[in-house]
Amino acid sequence: MDYKQAGVDIDAGNEVVRRIRSMARGTFTPGVLSEIGSFGGLFRLDAAGISDPVLVASADGVGTKLRLAFLTGIHRTIGIDLVNHCVNDILVQGAQPLFFLDYLATGRLEPDVAVQIVAGLSTACRENGCALLGGETAEMPGFYADGEYDVAGFIVGAVARDRLIDGSAITPGDALIGVPSSGLHTNGYSLARRIVFDLAGLDVDSHVAELGTTVGAALLEPHRSYLPIIRPLLPSGLIKGMAHITGGGITDNLPRILPKGTAARIDPAAWQVPPVFEWIQRTGHVPDDDMRRTFNMGIGLIIACADVAADRVLADLAAAGEPHAARIGRVTGEGDGVRYVAP
């Protein structure tokens, strides 16, 4: 018995590695010192030109959004989702991305699927100025169903120590600015799938008039990167804190940046909840609280700044290409957590 009979095909793996390597090379920035295939990826931090740098790192997956990729056969956007999710997670602390590594695990490696995923990773890495520095492709017979996989991403960025954004300067009275999401991003898919597929009996090709597209297209919409619109704002120093609205929604994520003794008041009428969330809520009879603790509800990023700075931040966002950000609430000194009330 050899390794291939046991379900692991090293040659197929090597072929995928060759194709991946070439795509990854296209993302390399001046900091990269190594070729994919070294034991570790090498990155010269001084190439980033950041004085007194603090490294900011994050690990993430895309959750059960993967199921949509399995159902549609579209895997490229999963790679985009993963990179952008990671980029946003370190951006909220003021960091610019330096490099990214992925972990891709399958039962039996399907080269075309792996290549699609890495094509998405590479595209998003390039768009974010982030090197795809390495990764691991694991073939684990019996761990994943045929045609299924899991993928995790790991990002390292850097920020000058005196530009670190951690929310500690947030005080009652500060404004909370909501920046639109591009869809469900990468959270809430277990609930969304149960409602859409099990309860409503739809499939990925079902057209939903209200959404103007198919179920698959609406739910696969990629997680956007906030880097292009936030990067131009960082030098101003006006941003006191940022929350990336991921699993747990505004309810669980906004408090992660609020100092002890502060809370948030969010006006649910301050923005238009996108049709996809309203459709999911109505179809699944989901209570408001659960929706808000599960989905981003159309707000993928919240910025905290002084009330007097809010108009300037909104103008800067518009100038950077995001005209649809809006004040959605404010920081208060009462209680803790998030309350949803009209102002």
Binding to a second copy, residues 194-213 (CB under 8 A) = 194-195, 199
Beta strands at 149-160 and 53-61: parallel, antiparallel or unpaired? antiparallel
> Helices 76-91 and 111-127, interaxial angle, to 10°?
40
Determine, following the binding rule CB under 8 A, whether residue 245 of this chain makes contact with a second copy.
no
CB burial string 141-161: b at 16+ within 10 A, e below: eeebeeebbbbbbbbbbbbbe
Beta strands at 326-332 and 175-180: parallel, antiparallel or unpaired? antiparallel
Determine, following the binding rule CB under 8 A, whether residue 58 of this chain makes contact with a second copy.
yes
Site for a second copy in 303-342 (CB under 8 A): none
* CA–CA separation, 219 and 168 (whole Å): 35
CB nearer to a second copy: pick between 6 and 342: 6
Determine, following the binding rule CB under 8 A, whether residue 269 of this chain makes contact with a second copy.
no
Determine, following the binding rule CB under 8 A, whether residue 228 of this chain makes contact with a second copy.
no
Determine, following the binding rule CB under 8 A, whether residue 287 of this chain makes contact with a second copy.
yes
User: Among 96, 123, 262, 294, which residue sits at the site for a second copy (rule: CB under 8 A)?
Assistant: 294
Determine, following the binding rule CB under 8 A, whether residue 226 of this chain makes contact with a second copy.
no
DSSP 223: P
Interface with a second copy (CB under 8 A), residue total 85
CB nearer to a second copy: pick between 160 and 270: 160
Residue 339, phi-psi category: left (phi > 0), alpha (psi -120 to 50), beta (remainder) = beta
Determine, following the binding rule CB under 8 A, whether residue 148 of this chain makes contact with a second copy.
yes
Residue where the block lists tokens 């990214």:
100
Positive or negative, the CA dihedral 313, 314, 319, 324 is positive
Determine, following the binding rule CB under 8 A, whether residue 60 of this chain makes contact with a second copy.
yes
Site for a second copy in 149-168 (CB under 8 A): 150, 152, 154, 156-157, 161, 164, 166
Site for a second copy in 92-131 (CB under 8 A): 92-93, 95, 98-99, 101-103, 105
